[in-house]
Amino acid sequence: MSPAKALAALVVMLCPSAAALAQGGPGVVAPATPGLAGENIIPIHTGTMAYCVSDFGWSDTWLIPDMMVYDPARDALSGDDAVNLRFSVGGVVASGNGWLTPSMDAGALHASYATGSPWRMVVPVDWIGGGPMGTSITRSVITHPVYGLNIQITTSAFGNVMSQTYDITNLGSRPVEDIVLSDYFNYHPNGSILGAASTGIARYLGGALFFTSGTGVPTLSDAVMSGNRPDSAHMVGTPAAVIAALEAGALTGADGPFGPADAAGAIAWPLGTLLPGDSASFTLTKIIPAPATLTPMAPLALALIRRAQRPRPPTPPPHPTAPPPPSHPAGAPGAGCVRGMIRLTAPARMNRVVLLAGFRIVHHR
């Protein structure tokens, strides 16, 4: 089988709703836990799942399957999905505890940890339209007010696959050194209600984090998280232990398996130094394959990651400006993810599909 056909077959296996999504159509918004800092939170719908994302790329709501009413029993991410960015300026660590998001669940089932993040929203998270084959896309821009780092966050979802690209640009006057981007992932294969949230198993294998159910077949889905560069550190453990290690810049290297428990994990990827005007780009991807396919497909998934692990050229985000008003509903914190609608567009034709690490879908003309 040719590589193109093999990749297309993998897309069908991982994204069983691909044919339906290609027809386009509306998706109904589901609620997310409001953040602690009034950040905007809006959803991405694929027909298979609903993933809510904030201005800062944070999420604590991932509904499986896609639905119009929030149900904690169908939420795999209360829990967190949160990015940590450590860096130095003049040889001194200048990133504080590293969190981009001002809010995290941190082992609770709702936003309960105010991280003290200095990052500020420049362009609020908003939908930027649909991509090929029904892909739904949002984008936001945040900035570090002291050191002039700008990050454009593009979140896209298709079927069972979601990815986030972080385009980082140094708009300041000094080099920013030793940049390390980490992703903290506290995923619940059996839902986010008391008891069920403590039945996951986390393990690190070959550059990816795998989350499986500790009770046999998961209520919702297993999951895998990876990035598009070689990593430098990783860890699995309790939410408290992984968060503390990230904030100290000292992931332990624990591979696991850890659990059954409220299992969390993190992977760190070094991005090097950005001189003034320089940019770097990094993509995270999470997949929720059908429960029976995760373990058998792990070798193929990892082989595709290694084969295609090439960072794409960065797209510099805009210089900080006064933020425009978001097009989604305003109101109470998180109101943008309470009600609304998003339209999935269909392509005129299916282009050749290449699955990039970790499973980031790129369409070549």
The pLDDT confidence band at residue 181, using thresholds 50, 70 and 90, is very high
CA distance linking residue 201 with residue 25, whole number of Å = 36
Contact 346, 134 (CB under 8 A): yes
Percent of the chain at pLDDT above 90? 61
pLDDT score of 69: 83
Q: Which of the residue ranges 24-28, 115-119, 301-305, 325-329 would you say has the lowest mean pLDDT?
A: 24-28
**DSSP track, 155-168:** EEEETTEEEEEEEE
* pLDDT reading at 78 higher than 80: yes
CATH code of 3-364, in short, is: 2.70.98.40
CA distance linking residue 192 with residue 177, whole number of Å = 38
The predicted model gives 202-231 an average pLDDT of: 95
Q: Which of the residue ranges 72-76, 131-135, 224-228 would you say has the lowest mean pLDDT?
A: 131-135
Question: pLDDT digits over 92-139, tens only?
Answer: 999 999 999 999 999 998 899 999 999 999 999 999 877 655 678 999
Q: What φ, ψ does residue 180 adopt, rounded to 5°?
A: -130, 120
Please choose, from the candidates 155, 188, 190, 153, the residue with its C-alpha nearest in 3D space to the C-alpha of residue 281: 153
pLDDT score of 33: 61
Helix axes 3-14, 294-307, angle to 10 degrees: 140
CA distance linking residue 225 with residue 62, whole number of Å = 14
Higher model confidence: residue 323 or residue 76? 76
- From residue 66, alpha-carbon distances to 30, 51, 62, 75, 87 in Å are 9, 9, 9, 10, 37
The average confidence (pLDDT) of the chain is 77
The pLDDT confidence band at residue 357, using thresholds 50, 70 and 90, is very low
The predicted model gives 158-165 an average pLDDT of: 92
Half-sphere exposure of 181 (CA within 13 A, CB side): 23
Question: pLDDT digits over 259-315, tens only?
Answer: 999 999 999 999 999 999 999 999 999 999 744 444 444 445 444 444 434 444 444
Higher model confidence: residue 324 or residue 190? 190
CA 233 to chain centre: 18
CA distance linking residue 180 with residue 33, whole number of Å = 28
pLDDT score of 133: 56
Which position has the token pair 């429960």?
A: 291
Q: Please state, as a whole number, how many other Cβ atoms lie within 10 Å of the Cβ of residue 191.
A: 20
- From residue 197, alpha-carbon distances to 78, 163, 165, 346 in Å are 8, 23, 28, 36
Domain boundary assignment for the chain? 3-364
Q: Please state, as a whole number, how many other Cβ atoms lie within 10 Å of the Cβ of residue 291.
A: 17
